[in-house]
Amino acid sequence: MKFVLLLSKPLIPTFILLAALVASSPSKAEDTGATTVVDTFHEALLDTMKSAKKLGIKGRYEILAPTIEGSFDLHTTVRVATGKAWRKASSSEKNQLVDAFRHWSISTYASQFSGYSGQSFKTHGERAGPQRTQLVKTDIVRPGKKPVGLTYVLKQKEKKWRIVDVLLENSISQLAVRRSEYRGILKNGGITSLVGTLKALSKKLLNP
């Protein structure tokens, strides 16, 4: 199992500030339902990891798909990640992009969580974050190794909490990384190019 989560680019200031807020403030338990979303997602990941070899990557994809679609607000994430390009895109382009991003997101988790060797997830609590978000602080506990910190950023949509970002080690925003990675693709080829790139990456992940 890998924990890189496809990180490669520097962060934009907004998300650095959010990461600093997460790192510097203590967690406070609040019964909003956000923690339940994260715990349910973690349970699905663990179940998949424990049967990873038997399932294969495509089997893991099929099992994780409904949980990821129910736990994450992928529409909001890709909208924020693409910024101005999203606002200029047609309805058809937006639908294609959301679908490609959904496929890539599920493929990424299916690829990265590919085995089990005693790992577990520990939830430390949740608290209110900026812009009406909830922050759920967790660790991936690995026997004999340092825990990996994951802080989930959730926002309500239609009265349901959904994950819109994940901070690796309380400092690296996945949403900021996506935005940085997509900037060059969008500048050179627009939404169509990004859709093609995401589809190609998904195909590569599902056919290692």
8-26: per-residue pLDDT in tens? 333 333 343 344 334 434 4
Position 32 scores a pLDDT of 65
User: What pTM does this model have?
Assistant: 0.85
pLDDT in tens, 80-99: 999 999 999 999 999 999 99
pLDDT digits (tens, 9 = 90+) for 107-165: 999 999 999 999 999 999 999 999 999 999 999 999 999 999 999 999 999 889 999 99
3-class DSSP state of 152: strand
- Residue 206 binned pLDDT confidence (cut-offs 50, 70, 90): very high
26-35, 45-54, 199-208: which has the minimum mean pLDDT?
26-35
CA 5 to mean position of chain CA atoms: 8
Question: Distance between CA atoms of 58 and 101, rounded to whole angstroms?
Answer: 17
Q: Which domains does the chain have, with CATH numbers?
A: 13-206 (3.10.450.710)
Counting residues of the chain whose pLDDT is more than 90, the rounded percentage is 81
* Residue 103 and residue 204 in contact, taking contact as beta carbons nearer than 8 Å: no
Provide the angle, in degrees to the nearest 10, between the axes of the packed helices 174-206 and 52-71: 140
pLDDT number for residue 59: 97
Greater model confidence, 199 or 27:
199
Place of tokens 């690296």: 172
Q: Report the chain's mean pLDDT, rounded to a whole number.
A: 87
Residue recorded with tokens 């890709």: 78
Q: What pLDDT is attached to residue 22? A: 42
Report which of 47, 40, 79, 39 is spatially closest to residue 63, judged by C-alpha positions. Answer: 47
pLDDT of residue 31: 55
Average pLDDT over residues 26-36: 66
pLDDT above 70 covers a percentage of the chain that reads: 85
pLDDT band per the 50, 70, 90 thresholds, residue 171:
confident
